Amino acid sequence: MNQTVVSYLSQYEFYDHILALFGNNQGVLAFVIYAVLALVIVGMCATIGGLGTYAERKISADLQARLGPNRVGPYGLLQMLADGVKMMTKEDIMPFSADKALFYLAPLLCLTGVFATLAVLPFSSGFIMADLNVGIFYLVAISSLVGLGVFLGGYASNSKWSMLGGMRGASQIISYEIPVTISILAIVLLSGGMGFGTIVGSQGGLPHQWFMFHNPFAFLAFFVYGVGALAETNRAPFDLPEAESELVSGYHTEYTGMRFGFFALAEYIEVFVVCGVAAALFLGGYNVPGISIDILPMQAVQFVIFMTKTLLLYYVVIWIRWTLPRLRVDQLMSVCWKYLTPMAILNLIGCATWMVVFNGKSIAELILGSH
Amino acid sequence: MISRKNIVAILLGIELILNAAALNFVAYSRYVTNNLDGHIFSLFIIVIAAAEAAVGLAIVIRFFQIKETIHIDEATQLRN
Amino acid sequence: MFIEFLFISSAAVTIACAIGVLVVKNIMHSCVFLLGSLMGIAGLYATLGADFVAVTQIMVYVGGVVILMLFAVMLTGGKDFISRAQNLLGLPPSMGSKWTYGVGLLVGLVFLLTNIQLIKGISQSLPTNEINNGFPSTVTQIGHLLIKEHVLAFEISSVLLLGALVGAAIIARPRKQN
């Protein structure tokens, strides 16, 4: 059954008061609740994207034994606002022989692909905007719009370097979708459903109840997913399509001002989404260890736990970026096809075998006896 | 009814045709019967369309390697 | 009311983008219009209650086929393609005159109206409730059907996909120039 935020809220009495305000028109009220919550979530994630730029500069400074931005506000916190204002006031140039329609469309595709995935992220047990029964599948499918945006951005700039950067970026994204999707399939096997409510609901709060420690294949699947998702977001050691823009050029060379800001924002929010998915699938999501009362303040606790896990993974992602050297494009492709994909398929087969042989019990349940 | 001479444009049209048929099957399973046979058939149509697009585009690339153009009127011979 | 709004917007997007695929001269723009059309059809699947098929459509077509088409256009220099043949009406001479289009439209209308009359008697609708139930999910049922009743087609399609994979790689591989 597809649960939504609205069906969760309709359990409470204040919902009926608000419904009377709208003349008992449930459709309109549902639409308004979705619109308000969408604005809230998009605003929150855009803020997280901005904070991500600040966090990256501070953490990289820490790793490199320097200070980072500390002039603009207390501890340099307003640096992201300064960067945002700078980006918005830059001149919006378009190359003369570029393809106008696709030039406008490419950053929007990237941003749409990322924001549409926010609708299924499990922030807490009641406030998943739409707990689709095909939740994780929908998320992976919509993320492929980002690859399309990268390709069209490279093409529309009508310069050879941009086109090469765009083609490499798109081929990297579509190649790494395969080990990512197969790792996710292994988790779907373990939980018995594709909806985020099902997946997070079949885990528990304590570490031995997480899917990561369920069986050794799921443990490997976590790392395959992590590496693959980092490569999909053009991040960390896999940022050749972007790094070309630091060295020579890349798919967002010809983009200036807010259009480039769209590409950068899409990347930071996509990293947040990927970390959120990893936290939900492998690390137990929003489950609170121990307590299981279903009252409204519980939702806040679950939200805090989910965000903590996600931001911890975000920190690890930033850490990896500033530690490891960049991979060449042929090394990148060979890592995907020769190492990650066979490992992902092996994990899937291993998880399926484990489910059959041990009747779906995790290692902790086998050792301690099922509680 | 509007014809194009570019082979890739022809493949785009084929994708549209297959999607129309798949939509019909799903609508049938929603409005006429109670089971999900239409969904299954649509899934297989999607799978086959993807496989056919892949092989078709491989043929287009090979054609371009030989003839240096992708105008459909150049495809006149069965060999050489 | 929500469902009707979704249906009309998805249908409008689908038809507009499908017409765009045919009419636009630049083939890259045609591919992007195809993308829009496929997303519109995924929206139509969603209004029909077919959630798994809708998401499969997005995953396979948007994430696979459209990117493949774009790569193929790039690798074959298609964006500089110029169509050569035209008749007096500005159309290619193989697709005909005003009569062709007129009679085609008439036949299409007759067919459509006949279908509506036929379906009217036997159509039924699933129970929907915008807030609490939505549509019942089809994922588990499709899983059961694929493994129990349609298992042969399932296995054959896996062999088909293997054949397509290997075949496409062999046909398009770079040749040694001798």
User: Where do the domains of chain C lie?
Assistant: 1-79
What CA–CA distances, in Å, run from A210 to A220, A287, A362, A370, C45?
A: 14, 10, 9, 15, 35
Question: Confidence band (pLDDT; 50, 70, 90) for B1?
Answer: very low
Region A288-294: what's the mean pLDDT?
A: 74
What CA–CA distances, in Å, run from A363 to A191, A315, C45?
A: 15, 29, 41
Percent of chain C with pLDDT over 70: 79
Tell me which chain A residues have a C-beta less than 8 angstroms from the C-beta of C65: none
For helices A26-63 and C2-23, give the axis angle rounded to 10 degrees.
60
- How confident is the model over C119-153, as pLDDT tens digits? 776 665 554 444 445 567 788 889 888 999 999 99
Region A118-138: what's the mean pLDDT?
A: 87
What residues are paired with A347 via a beta bridge? none
Of A102, A134, A193, the CB nearest to C51: A134
pLDDT reported for residue C125: 57
Q: Which residue has the tokens 């591919």?
A: C31
pLDDT reported for residue A306: 92
pLDDT reported for residue C121: 66
Identify the CATH assignment for C1-79 out of 1.20.120.1200, 3.20.20.30, 3.30.450.20, 3.40.190.10. 1.20.120.1200
Is the CB of B31 less than 8 angstroms away from the CB of C145? no
φ, ψ at A3 (rounded to 5°)? -90, 150
pLDDT reported for residue C130: 46
Among chain C residues, the shortest Cα distance to A29 is held by C131
Cβ atoms of C156 and B44 closer than 8 Å: no
Report the residue of A3, A5, A7 to disrupt the C interface, i.e. the one with the largest count of C CBs within 10 Å. A7
Q: Is residue A46, in this structure, part of any structural domain at all? A: no
Structure-block tokens of residue A320: 């990896």
Cβ atoms of A237 and A320 closer than 8 Å: yes
pLDDT reported for residue C152: 93
pLDDT reported for residue B43: 94
pLDDT reported for residue A20: 72
Cβ atoms of A167 and A256 closer than 8 Å: no
Cβ atoms of A167 and A145 closer than 8 Å: no
Q: Which domain range does residue A253 map to?
A: 94-368
The answer to whether residue A117 scores a pLDDT higher than 70 is yes
Question: Confidence band (pLDDT; 50, 70, 90) for A183?
Answer: very high
Tell me which chain C residues have a C-beta less than 8 angstroms from the C-beta of B11: 69
Tell me which chain A residues have a C-beta less than 8 angstroms from the C-beta of C26: 99
pLDDT reported for residue C68: 92
Task: Considering only residues A11 and A324, tell me which one the structure prediction assigns the higher pLDDT.
Answer: A324
ipTM of the complex: 0.88
pLDDT reported for residue C123: 61
Is the CB of A170 less than 8 angstroms away from the CB of C67? yes
Question: By the CB < 8 Å criterion, does C31 face chain B?
Answer: yes
Cβ atoms of A178 and A121 closer than 8 Å: no
Question: Confidence band (pLDDT; 50, 70, 90) for C84?
Answer: low
Range with the poorest average pLDDT among A226-230, A364-368, C66-70: A364-368
Question: By the CB < 8 Å criterion, does C17 face chain B?
Answer: no
Of C32, C52, C62, the CB nearest to A102: C32
Cβ atoms of C61 and B15 closer than 8 Å: yes
Which letter, b or e, does each residue of A306-334 get, where b requires 16 or more Cβ atoms within 10 Å of its Cβ?
A: bbebbbebbeebbeebeeeebbeeeebbe
Percent of chain B with pLDDT over 70: 95
pLDDT reported for residue A272: 92
Q: In chain A, how many domains are there? A: 1
The answer to whether residue B14 scores a pLDDT higher than 80 is yes
Is the CB of B13 less than 8 angstroms away from the CB of C161? no
Question: By the CB < 8 Å criterion, does C18 face chain B?
Answer: yes
Cβ atoms of A55 and A321 closer than 8 Å: no
CA angle B51, B53, B56 (to 5 degrees): 110
Question: By the CB < 8 Å criterion, does C81 face chain B?
Answer: yes
Q: Is residue A296, in this structure, part of any structural domain at all? A: yes
Percent of chain A with pLDDT over 70: 94
H helices of chain C, in order, are 2-23, 27-47, 51-57, 66-75, 98-120, 139-148, 151-171
Beta-strand pair A130-131/A3-4:
antiparallel
The answer to whether residue A320 scores a pLDDT higher than 80 is yes
Range with the poorest average pLDDT among A9-13, A52-56, C69-73, C151-155: A9-13
